[in-house]
Structure 1
Amino acid sequence: MNAEQAAGSSASRRVSLPARARITDVATRAGVSIKTVSRVVNEEQGVRDETRERVLAAIIELGFVPNTTARSLKKGGQDVIGVVIDSISDPFFASLVSVIEDLAISRDLSVVFASTGFDANREREQLHRLTGHQLCGLIVVPVAVTADELQIYRRRFPVVAVDRSREGIDSVVVDDFGAAREVTQQFISLGHRRIAFIGDDPEYPTNSARLAGFRAALDEAGIPVDDSLIVRHEHDRASMAAASARLLQRPDAPTAMLGATSRASIATIDAMRAGGSEEIAFISFGDFETADVLTPGVTCVDQDPNLIGSAAFRRLLELIDNPASEPVHIVVPTTLVPRGSGEIRPRASANEHHTGVAS
């Protein structure tokens, strides 16, 4: 681990997200709508005594604590959280938005979101459009926006960066370096020596950290890094699939492959299935729909959007209560989920026949 990695590690803290009763839980237990629970909590008129008593009983039974921040925001007219992501078509970010939206609705808040399409100019346009609303907070996945630019927004409302950090801005990330290193070490422990890295474009700090972890594991094992097995600077699924296919068609094709993002992983699996590739071990950095129903199932680094979205949302509420608090860098743990594809040994050391990823 380099100095930058070590500094990031020491400055971060892991999160524990204990379950606690939500307004939706109270509504379900009492058999009423979220709006009715909100009216009871805010001591508004228009709720029958019998219904009010049922809601209050559910609140006591579940130990529900009303969110005073959300209530004060509603009274002040600021009840909207802005969310800026890369692309809603990306499985990870689609899930992330869904988690944040569910948490916001449970507190009677609204969510507006925008996507950047990985484009710096579009990112700034979307931020400008989104922040024209009376926001109570912003959760952003930065592309090219700088720390200084985000500080301007931070003077108006709390800002939390997700997936990619910016100095001086609260952030929620995963240990990209450590997780990629762990994946590569697993491949090596199974006997693989020709391991490919399928990256993404543009080159974000997340991808750089994952590539650094990949290289570190090879270096620690005394395996020379073959740059011809590293795919970078591909712009879309089709080009990533084509680049993966070229690797698989080589006489000295890799025996294991790491997809650095869910998008890169889906493209690589397209190439593997189209080419009928066999004996190829594969692990995806990021889970995606159908990953567990392919044959074999796709082993993945699960960067749980529920944990990440919950941590980002809770930090946003903390900043609303205390906007002067020092920025924190929250590292959410990942989990390596074995499903079969990541456990395939190279043919030379395998004791039985294994097939590649197929439907």
Structure 2
Amino acid sequence: MSSEIDEACLKDPKIRGHIIYYEFRSGKPIFECYKNFCERMGPNSLDFPDFEFWFQRFSAGNFNFEYDRGQDPKYRTLTDMPVHIFGKILENLGDDYQFKYRFTLRNVCKSFRAIADSWNPNIKKFSISSSLNNIDLSLDDQKFEYKDKNLAVDDIASVLVHPKLKLEKFDIWGDGKEFMEKLSLKLASLKINKFYVEKIYLSSHWSWESWKAIIPFLQGETAEFVGSLSEIAELVEKIGDSEDRSSTVGFPRITITCPSYMRAYMKDATKIVKNLLQFSNLKMCSLNVELKKTVQLKKNIQRFGAKIQEDHPEIFHYPIPYSADFFEIEIQPYEIRIERKSP
């Protein structure tokens, strides 16, 4: 069902009652039925007390779908409590209750969700790890594990859309193409602006298809790639071929590290440099890799159009198309540095 049809169904009390009755007929416990209802209609579609009302009527043998709840006496509930009083009660959970119980409270009901989502996340490190059955979320040192991927998407998006979120580090692990695409669609539906990240950490074990969906929502300073040189070369090449290249290099500084225990081939170093030179928004890149010989690499770079500097044979200048600026390329046995400069 489309979101428009879902919304129309939920506004009609008769249709809503029939959907709840469908879950009731399954014979499963009420909380499991409510979970299935939210998976079908959306995590924010109906508060549990409203679902419980109809479920209990059906349990009592009352199947009158014409019942008008508007005629019921009005009772005050916990959700009617003033926010500042609610906050005073929550303080008994400890000084860090907003951090530890954020996701627990936001999944109780719409009123609690609105309060929890308004809290400043006040976190610096954000990590997502995806596997076949689990999603592991790490916020600073606090870890959250999800079996329900739709719930994980909803909770993660609620943090990323907060206007005061400013992260120092964002990293992603595992093979989670499907999950990241779901998260991307959720962020797009919320019309999120790019959230700021000082540094993203991307392992070459994550394929470009897995994380390219989330990159357009990121804006920051540095992107760090770690892995074998051949894997990183393939990853950088895919970024270079992508239509999203300009948004990917929303990170003007790139650090690439190939651990010394991994073999580095000249052809991979050449491929990385060749593709990076096409990133016109790039300001600085440091490629940390151990190269036993650099003569062939220097020859390859000259074939791309880079000019060797006579007084510094390890430095080359590569003109940036449609600009007076150029990339300065410095080749050392343990590092290749690319820096944008003006004449």
Q: Into which bin does the TM-score normalised by the smaller protein fall?
A: under 0.3
Length-normalised TM-score, structure 2: 0.22
Length-normalised TM-score, structure 1: 0.21
Larger relative contact order (CA 8 Å, sep ≥ 6): 1
Greater Rg over alpha carbons, structure: 2
Q: Which has the higher strand share?
A: 2
